[in-house]
Structure 1
Amino acid sequence: MNTLTTTSNPVNNAPTTSRRWTPRAVARTAGVFYLVIFTCGLFSELYVRGTLVDPASAAATAANITESSGLFRVGFLADTLMVLCDVAVAVLLYVLLRPVSRTLSTLAAAFRLTQAAVLGSILLAQFAALLLLDPAGPGAGLSTDDRDALVGLTMEAHSYGYLIGLVFFAAHLLVLAYLLIKSSWFPSWLGGILGVAGVGYAADSLGFFLLPGYDGTLSPVLLAPAVIAEFSMIAWLLLRGVRMDAGQRDVDGVDSQTGVTA
């Protein structure tokens, strides 16, 4: 059973309680946040920007965003929620995997937090497109062609910033893959496919920067394993949590070998 710790509230002296988490509870909480990340990321990247942003025409992009500004704002909100949940997942996975290697779990968290910082910063570029298209905004004094060109530039900057964020995410996945393989709590195949996903993310993202003329032709091939791997990770966290025997938990609800607590 769980151990409740009673403390005194300095304001009204009412007792408050804190509850220790089992590793399985930490894992399932991470799974909930990860599912939000997966859902919001696919919605904003594939549906919102996939529908509104035309890489071949800045004018078409500007027109689409103007006509569907509500959808564009919902996409912005989804991206913001995704970044917030990424921070939570980084911390929860660190708590869960630090018994395997405190150094490597810290490194994995640092890579994921850096990704979140990059993706959070490029939200400014995304919102700048709306500001430029506002009739009373900073783009009001520009010609239509100049304004549309700037809108296209801000969205292209957002796309490249996203790719930079994915490089850090790829590094996170590679370290996470090693930790999962070393841990007895997760199946080795899950760590293996996450490692493949990390290589795919890195290869595709760096290709845009290092290979002149690369247009993402190989993206479906390189990123397909990533979709499978991340969905598998989410499913495992939500449905299984961690692979533990009943004897691995003590009466406090904390794993007797790792001592993971909230």
Structure 2
Amino acid sequence: MTARIAGIWYLIMAISGILGFMVFHPQIFISGNPERTLANLIELESTGRIRIMLEFAIVISQALTAVWFYKLFKDVNEWVAWTLGIWGMINSVAIMISAISMASAIDIANSSIQTMDDKVLLIQVFQSIITNAWGIGGLFFGLWLFPMGYIIIKSKRMPVWLGRVILLGGIGYLISTFISYAGIDFSFGRILILPATIGEFWMIGYLLIFGIRPVNE
């Protein structure tokens, strides 16, 4: 039951992340164009609020996924389970910073106090914080996959290759983040995080369908 509840929270996190970051986010927040973003926040306020609700869903489900992963693995290796839980919580905090900035951007856009020029400047600042909360958050998005992959491989209570793919995904996230912030022009950055995407969805499916193998298997 613990494994399947962890899988449910992980699935909710994945769904809210896809809807929020890939579907609704580009409808509101236009990279490099704070003027258009401001107009969107005013004209499409309800869409902007759906976006922030999805960000809340990511924060909550990420935190609960981390808690349930700790519960799932604490009897296998408590130190690694603590590491997994703590680093998962840090992911949640990084996304929460993004959510705070989104809420602030919506408030500023629909405020009658600031001038339009001031609003554009503030929207640009908040938009940058959102982008970097997710970008630099990639460090811990990657790090929390290390204890996850390690405990799967060592315990053998899930497929060993699942753990290896997850570890590879963690490495990919770290390399991708460093390359991005080093200012290196690398057009295939998304390929580096592909193993993480495969591994996480594999993990979700395995938790929901099979749970976790008994100790004697």
TM-score tier after normalising by the smaller chain length: over 0.9
SS of equivalent to 1:122: helix
Per the TM alignment, residue 81 of structure 1 is displaced from its structure 2 partner at its CA by 1.4
CA-atom RMSD in angstroms: 1.9
Residue 220 (structure 1) aligned with residue 190 (structure 2): yes
2:114 to 127, 141, 145: 141
1:5-39 per-position Cα deviation (integer Å, ceiling 9, x unaligned): xxxxxxxxxxxxxxxxxxxx100010111110000
TM superposition outliers: structure 1 runs of 4+ over 4 Å: none
Which has a greater percent of helix? 2
Q: Higher relative contact order at CA 8 Å, sep ≥6: structure 1 or structure 2?
A: 1
1:124-177 per-position Cα deviation (integer Å, ceiling 9, x unaligned): 1111111111143xxx332x2331122122011111012232311211101110
CA contact (8 A) 2:58 2:95 kept: no
Letter in 1 for 2:82: T
Most deviating of 38-47 and 162-171: 162-171
Residue 191 (structure 1) aligned with residue 163 (structure 2): yes
**Greater Rg by CA:** 1
Residue 99 (structure 1) aligned with residue 75 (structure 2): yes
Q: What is the CA–CA distance in structure 1 between the aligned matches of 2:39 and 2:184, rounded to whole Å? A: 27
Letter in 1 for 2:46: G
Matches within 5 A, 1:48-127: 48-127=24-103
Matches within 5 A, 1:7-22: none
Task: Name the structure 2 match of 1:151.
Answer: 123
- Alignment length (residue pairs): 217
Letter in 2 for 1:175: P
Identity over aligned pairs, percent: 23
1:228-247 per-position Cα deviation (integer Å, ceiling 9, x unaligned): 111111100001111238xx
Q: What is the CA–CA distance in structure 1 between the aligned matches of 2:178 and 2:104, rounded to whole Å? A: 25
Residue 234 (structure 1) aligned with residue 204 (structure 2): yes
TM-score (norm 1): 0.77
Q: What is the CA–CA distance in structure 1 between the aligned matches of 2:81 and 2:175, rounded to whole Å? A: 23
Q: What is the CA–CA distance in structure 1 between the aligned matches of 2:197 and 2:78, rounded to whole Å? A: 28
CA contact (8 A) 2:56 2:96 kept: yes
Q: What is the CA–CA distance in structure 2 between the aligned matches of 1:141 and 1:149, rounded to whole Å? A: 10
Per the TM alignment, residue 122 of structure 1 is displaced from its structure 2 partner at its CA by 2.8
2:151 to 179, 198, 201: 179
